[in-house]
Structure 1
Amino acid sequence: MALLNGRPADPEALRVLALTNYGHFTSMRVDDQRVRGLSQHLDRLVRDCRTVFGTELDISRVRQYVRDAVGDEAGASVVRVTVFDPGLDLGHPVSADDPHVLVTHRSAAALPLPPLRVRTARYQRDIAQVKHTGLFGALHHRRAAQLAGFDDALFVDADGLISEGGTWNVGFISPQGVIWPKADVLPGITMALLQELSPHTTEPVPVDSLTGMRAAFAANTTIGVRAISTIDGLQLATEHPVLVQMRESFLALRGERL
């Protein structure tokens, strides 16, 4: 089911989103009517709406739309809230200032998920601080990684520094503790929650420093804390004690009620 401004979406209204792919979104995992980091997800929508459309988003309406989409459903699902303007003119995007709210949801897999095998790729997302709908580059590199026998891509910037994954943040466990890359990345909600739960540092992570890492993990709302078993040819521990503790602490978060 897809709801546009709280009503069943007319396919014609979605045409602009399909043809221009101009908008922003957040995805949140709902477990028994609760969302870890719900307030942060809503704050992200407000912040990104100002950047993408230059206008304010009525977050109380958004929250109601999400409630309508989920209903009284129990169990786990992933809700995506996409903000776009059906009236956008490709030649004059400056006129796009009437954002609509599309809410979709799907079932979610049980956590934790099995480890990922990733390969590095030179890539930098456009306007990395915004969770925008422009996913072509990220998905292209994910596809290339899968064709090469991996699960996903891990991005490296022009300076040779690790940044993020295709749709997730990445963290590392070194002998000194948890490290989050200092780079131009999306400020993920799950990453922020984990940073509140565990001591950490944020510092540049050059590709050639990976051999000194004990473990690595991907983090986003859908996958939680997911171990990375392989980066290129480097094998990493998937049950490192610090990683296990982070995963369990995250899963123990009760979340906010919708």
Structure 2
Amino acid sequence: MNENRKKIGVLDSGVGGLTVVKELEQLLPNEDIVYFGDNKNCPYGNRTADNIVEIARSTIGFLQNKDIKAVVVACNTTSSLIHRFEKDYPFPIFSIIKPAAQYVVQHKLPSIGVIGTELTIKTGCYERLIHDGNADIAVYGEPSHNLAALVDCGRFDMTAITDEITVHMNHLLEQHPVKHVIYGCTHYPIVGEVFECVAPGVQFINPALEQARAVADYLKEHSLLNDTAGHSFDIYMSGSKAVYEAVLQRLQIKTPAIIHSV
């Protein structure tokens, strides 16, 4: 198969990676996308690092059989461990953390908050990458044990979601009154309006957008863009089809998705 016509593979622990698909759809309207949502193992942030790497390798192997030209790791927790597997494949693997960290450095932000899963915060992955670019930027992490799972279940219990976001944003801002906060989990932009309501004085940085830009730049630079009109979107998931349909509708993703259970 012509390399340009190959697909972009996207992997996540559940529905959160659909926020990346939304950005890819807007920036790369001709690209075919194949998505793997590993709902049965969500949330990754409460698992061991070795277990997450094992799951990542299995998922990438699955995507590799779908004629892909790149893999987009939409999961922050998995991206925090990407150095353990990214060089083992014949196609590029994109972290969701690195582009967001580069955004913070390029815009010379004096301080930044990061709200994410427990493991993402524990690894210090954002702090490490940001400090590689500018050691003077203060980085403050705020871990949430429950928020990713509350969103991934698809019920959108807005009372529980709002309570969880309020507790963590208040805790972060009381200690460190930052003006910018990174969504350190791709599930979080799905309920972005709650974050904005709870913390109206904060500008939230969406790594899904920065990652999609990095993918688009790479494909352009390497002449790998699909210039054929029309594209496909296949979802392989181990969860509930109804949850995916609800999130697709909530995110207003236009491309019709074919949803497969695995």
TM-score range, shorter chain: under 0.3
For normalisation by structure 2, the TM-score amounts to 0.26
* Higher fraction of strand: 1
* Higher fraction of helix: 2
For normalisation by structure 1, the TM-score amounts to 0.26
Greater RCO (CA < 8 Å, at least 6 residues apart): 2
